[in-house]
């Protein structure tokens, strides 16, 4: 009985410690993000490289996924609303569900699977190899040089790619809509515009940026938690990815709460 | 290598940014975010169902939204709404503003303008909004239907009550129908079925037998009268003699029997028309009564004029 209570207590303490560490780390990163001295030529190079690996390299695969996903979702959804006689809700479905919910979610999953795990492993290996200590011993601020450019890159990548995903899905939606409903370009755009909300668009961009922030911050934080053993690298990646997934769910729920309540 | 990466990243950021900005700019432009906006004020006695952001609709198109709600010092609700420049032409001085509360969907303010070339609505003017509630309208229209349905349900309840009551009208009708069908299933005569009483049928048959007897007796009487030819003189052939009287009575009897035949034929067709047959039965009964009375009178008259005694005395001329 006592051991059970001890386990519960230990778990609670660990969670609280982890939350506190994440919150502290988040606060430090946010402060650096808005500090002008963070942005120098070195951090700019890191940012460009990270952005290239995260956003540009994935682009062909991402566009193919967007087209396939857009065709499938639009095809099924349009056919369903046609069968149900709810064609008036076409715009609301596209703008209220596909653009504001599906696009950021699919994008964040792709980026998390591909880049978050890579960042997590990279930082953990740097920690194991004492590269971080070496950088600090040369007076290089790892926050400015390693972490902030990656997090900024993650935020911008999410904003750009989720917007691109939405645009591709809407373009595919035009094709599917013209095939299923025989809708013209003007009628389709009018339908979208009627359902488009400026507030929703701003919220989507903010949500995407928040996703980008946490799916890079959490892997970096978990990578820093790795010990000096190489065996701690996969553990750090595993913990990091689980927390990234939890963060995605929490942000999705919070954004829905903000949007609908 | 580094320059290639920089170029690719720069190209991606530029193209994507242009696409995003163009999309957002297009939506903003179409939504009239950058357009000049006109603000108008409406008044309402109540602020119920009114909300900021409520759409202002003209001809099914959203032309603006409620921007603010305010309660003035007189307790009147002031509704301020904004209309972009391009839709401002539909808001005229003679426009009417109706707050629609549909059964399904959100409330909205509907603008109706008859004369689009009329003078524009002054921003200082505060027209009153008219409230139209679909729910109340539907309730008002449905009330008479509900009342009718209520009455129908009352009648249905009464009918079912009657059906459930063993002594009720419906049960009685069903019992009678059962009797009729059971009688029909038996091979009784239609006359008995119609009369409903075997004794009455027998009585009719007996009457008909008696009629036949009377006719026979009348024939006998005529024969007897003929034997008296030349002997009875005025008593037999005179105006008040037996024979003219007997002939007249027999003619009457013949006519009535002919009518009786018609009535009996109608009884045979009773299965076709129960109501008509019932009427025929009544005729039959009345005709039979008349025949019996007439024949009785005949017999009495004949008895009076020709007393049939064991030893009749006939006065010769």
Apex B86 CA angle, B85 and B87, nearest 5: 90
Cross-chain residue pair B27–A201, CB shorter than 8 Å: yes
- Report the pLDDT value the prediction gives residue B317, as an integer from 0 to 100: 47
Residue B20 forms contact with A (CB below 8 Å): yes
Total number of residues shown for chain A: 261
Give B105's contacts in chain A (Cβ within 8 Å).
Answer: none
Q: Which residue of A has its CA nearest to B25?
A: A198
Q: What is the complex's ipTM, to 2 decimals?
A: 0.83
pLDDT tens sequence across A178-230: 887 777 888 888 878 878 888 888 889 999 999 999 999 999 999 998 888 88
- Report the pLDDT value the prediction gives residue A62, as an integer from 0 to 100: 92
Residue A24 in any domain: the answer is no
Structure token digits, residue B176: 């009678």
Q: Which of B9, B20, B31 sits opposite A52 (nearest CB)?
A: B9
CATH architecture entry for B36-128? Beta Barrel (2.40)
Per DSSP bridges, beta strands B96-101 and B108-112 are antiparallel
Per DSSP bridges, beta strands B96-101 and B77-84 are unpaired
Q: Give me the total of CB pairs closer than 8 Å, taking one residue from chain A and one from chain B.
A: 45
pTM, 2 dp: 0.58
Radius of gyration of chain B (CA): 52
- Per DSSP, helices labelled H in chain A are 2-33, 41-51, 59-83, 90-93, 103-111, 117-128, 131-137, 142, 148-180, 185-195, 198-224, 232-260
**Number of alpha carbons in the 13 Å side-chain half-sphere of residue B189:** 14
pLDDT tens sequence across B30-54: 877 777 888 999 998 888 888 888 8
Least reliable range by pLDDT among A147-161, B123-137, B181-195: B181-195
Backbone angles phi, psi at B110, to 5 degrees: -105, 125
Residue A7 forms contact with B (CB below 8 Å): no
Least reliable range by pLDDT among A10-14, A33-37, B264-268: B264-268
User: Any idea what DSSP says for residue B128?
Assistant: B
Cross-chain residue pair A45–B16, CB shorter than 8 Å: no
Alpha-carbon distance of A134 to B239, in angstroms, equals: 166
What are the sequence ranges of the domains in chain B?
Answer: 1-34, 36-128, 141-185, 191-305
Backbone angles phi, psi at B166, to 5 degrees: -65, -25
pLDDT of B114 > 80? The answer is: yes
Apex B236 CA angle, B235 and B238, nearest 5: 70
Residue A199 in any domain: the answer is yes
CA B306 to each of CA A45, A128, B244, B314: distance values in angstroms, whole numbers, following the listed order = 157, 158, 13, 9
Q: Which residues pair with B110 in a beta bridge?
A: B57, B98
- Provide CB contacts within 8 A for A117, sequence distance 6+: A219, A237, A240, A241
Q: Round the average pLDDT of chain A to a whole number and report it.
A: 89
Cross-chain residue pair B23–A59, CB shorter than 8 Å: no
Q: Which of A52, A59, A196 sits opposite B5 (nearest CB)?
A: A52
A window 133-162, beta carbon within 8 A of B: 156, 159-160
Alpha-carbon distance of A188 to A181, in angstroms, equals: 10
- Provide CB contacts within 8 A for A205, sequence distance 6+: A159, A163
Is residue A257 within 8 Å of A155, Cβ to Cβ?
no
Residue B14 forms contact with A (CB below 8 Å): no
User: Any idea what DSSP says for residue B54?
Assistant: -
- Provide CB contacts within 8 A for B36, sequence distance 6+: B84, B85
- The domain tally of chain A equals 1
Q: Which residues pair with B42 in a beta bridge?
A: B79
pLDDT tens sequence across B14-27: 999 999 999 888 88
Structure token digits, residue A29: 């990163």
Alpha-carbon distance of B299 to B175, in angstroms, equals: 46
Torsion of CA B130, B135, B138, B142, to 10 degrees: -130
Residue A2 in any domain: the answer is no
Q: How confident is the model at residue B271 (pLDDT cuts 50, 70, 90)?
A: very low
Domain around A215: 41-260
Q: Round the average pLDDT of chain B to a whole number and report it.
A: 74
Alpha-carbon distance of A124 to A236, in angstroms, equals: 7
A window 178-207, beta carbon within 8 A of B: 193-194, 196, 198, 201
Q: Which residues pair with B111 in a beta bridge?
A: B58, B97
pLDDT tens sequence across B234-250: 566 566 666 666 667 66
- Per DSSP, helices labelled H in chain B are 2-30, 134-164, 169-185, 190-195, 198-227, 234-237, 242-268, 274-305
Structure token digits, residue B113: 């303008």
């Amino acid at each position: 009985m006592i051991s059970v209570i001890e386990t519960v207590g230990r778990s609670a303490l660990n969670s609280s410690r982890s939350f506190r560490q994440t919150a502290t780390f988040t606060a430090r990163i946010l402060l650096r993000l808005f500090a002008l001295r963070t942005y120098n030529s070195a951090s700019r190079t890191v940012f460009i490289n990270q952005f290239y690996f995260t956003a540009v390299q994935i682009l062909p695969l991402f566009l193919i996924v967007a087209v396939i996903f857009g065709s499938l979702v639009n095809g099924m959804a349009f056919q369903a609303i046609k069968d149900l006689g709810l064609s008036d809700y076409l715009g609301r479905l596209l703008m209220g569900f596909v653009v504001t919910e599906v696009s950021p979610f699919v994008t964040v999953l792709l980026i998390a699977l591909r880049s978050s795990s890579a960042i997590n492993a990279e930082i953990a290996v740097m920690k194991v190899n004492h590269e971080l200590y070496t950088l600090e011993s040369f007076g290089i601020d790892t926050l400015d040089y390693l972490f902030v450019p990656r997090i900024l890159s993650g935020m911008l990548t999410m904003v750009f790619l989720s917007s691109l995903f939405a645009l591709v899905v809407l373009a595919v939606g035009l094709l599917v809509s013209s095939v299923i409903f025989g809708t013209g370009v003007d009628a389709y755009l009018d339908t979208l515009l009627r359902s488009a909300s400026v507030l929703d668009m701003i919220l989507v961009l903010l949500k995407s940026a928040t996703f980008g922030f946490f799916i890079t911050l959490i892997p970096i934080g978990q990578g820093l938690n790795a010990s000096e053993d190489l065996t701690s690298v996969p553990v750090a990646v595993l913990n990091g990815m689980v927390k990234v997934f939890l963060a995605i769910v929490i942000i999705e729920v919070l954004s829905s709460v903000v949007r609908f309540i | 290598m580094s320059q290639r990466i920089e170029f690719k990243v720069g190209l991606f950021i530029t193209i994507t940014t242009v696409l995003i900005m163009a999309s957002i700019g297009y939506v903003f432009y179409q939504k009239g975010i950058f357009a000049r906006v006109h603000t108008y004020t409406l008044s309402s006695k109540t602020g119920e169902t009114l909300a900021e952001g409520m759409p202002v609709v003209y001809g099914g198109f959203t032309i603006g939204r409620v921007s603010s709600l305010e309660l003035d010092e007189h307790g009147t609700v002031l509704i301020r709404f904004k209309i972009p420049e391009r839709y401002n032409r539909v808001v005229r001085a003679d426009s009417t503003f109706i707050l629609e509360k549909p059964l399904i969907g959100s409330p909205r303010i509907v603008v109706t303008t008859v004369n689009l070339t009329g003078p524009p609505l002054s921003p200082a003017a505060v027209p009153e909004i008219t409230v139209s509630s679909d729910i109340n309208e539907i309730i008002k229209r449905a009330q008479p239907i509900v009342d009718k349905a209520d009455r129908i349900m009352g009648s249905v309840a009464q009918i079912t009550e009657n059906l459930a009551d063993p002594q009720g009208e419906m049960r009685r009708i069903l019992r009678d129908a059962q009797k009729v069908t059971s009688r029909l299933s038996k091979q009784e005569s239609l006359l008995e079925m119609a009369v409903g009483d075997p004794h009455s049928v027998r009585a009719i048959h007996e009457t008909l037998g008696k009629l036949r007897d009377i006719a026979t007796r009348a024939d006998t009487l005529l024969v007897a009268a003929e034997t008296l030819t030349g002997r009875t003189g005025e008593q037999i052939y005179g105006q008040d003699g037996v024979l003219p009287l007997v002939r007249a009575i027999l003619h009457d009897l013949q006519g009535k029997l002919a009518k009786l035949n018609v009535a009996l034929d109608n009884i045979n067709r009773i299965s076709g028309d129960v109501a008509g047959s019932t009427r025929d039965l009544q005729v039959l009964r009345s005709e039979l009564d008349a025949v019996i009375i007439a024949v009785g009178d005949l017999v009495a008259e004949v008895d009076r004029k020709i007393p049939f005694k064991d030893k009749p005395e006939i006065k010769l001329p």
